[in-house]
Structure 1
């Protein structure tokens, strides 16, 4: 019997995941958690073979969520099932120790394949993430862009950022636009959330 913990704050996602899991195996016991604090409590008292984890969830703390789970159950398999962009988050969570990362926007067949592989003690890395991880690419944000992003997240205005970094206000504005485009966000609140999840303080 496989014991699976699904950690997601949307009931419909948990139900959909259960349906896909039941297509893979009938030998299944599923436990559900709607936030990360509840998941940690369950991990302390019950052994699991697999944790299906949404990273944008109450009580979560970016990449450290993987370490928190491993601290409780070192051998448990972790599949991140997230609505966030695979090309940005997939490599980071795989490198942090997750056994797989699959987007909620993926086809049913891909989500099923990811669950199947991780349940069978294999890693799941999508072709897109595999290609990114195999490339010798420079970081998504330059050092200067990272500095600007960190100041934006701290609530600094464009004028304050320009003054602190000794650059023109127009240059600071250009950096902000470029960062928003690269991370596919439309405001500073979304930017702060993405920065937290990918480990930028």
Structure 2
């Protein structure tokens, strides 16, 4: 990201502060692959919650659902609300995971969605990953609702593995994304649960 101060300010509007050090996301599911998580079936450890766009308490309910599913699904414990947020590439660069901490005052699905985490206030489009790489979470917008989707054990998902194989062997995207997809597959080989 070209202007660190700018995107850090935009994350702060959502109630997120960049947290230096700690977990290294190398070897975790790359953002380019994680973006396919909404295609995962319920059998892949998927849970979700949706709020109608016409609901007068839209962003309050969506924020509450995001927090509840994030804690219940294991994105972070209430005692340490740290996780990775996926930042979109600039000028064809690779997606990246940035470690953040949720502050006491936050608005991920409302104000946050008007910054780096979506297309407009109340229109989220973002990815998050637990610090141990075992839980994916996203805020997303459909035609009539906004929602939160959580997928546990992304390395068990055939949908994500199939897409990672495609990314790793194709000429699409950034070369670093192909390398990251191959690294993730190699460090999480298919097991009997996948056959």
Q: Using structure 2 for the length normalisation, give the TM-score.
A: 0.29
Larger radius of gyration: 1
Greater strand fraction, Structure 1 or Structure 2: 2
Greater helix fraction, Structure 1 or Structure 2: 1
Between 1 and 2, higher relative CO (CA 8 Å, sep ≥ 6) is seen in 2
Q: Using structure 1 for the length normalisation, give the TM-score.
A: 0.29
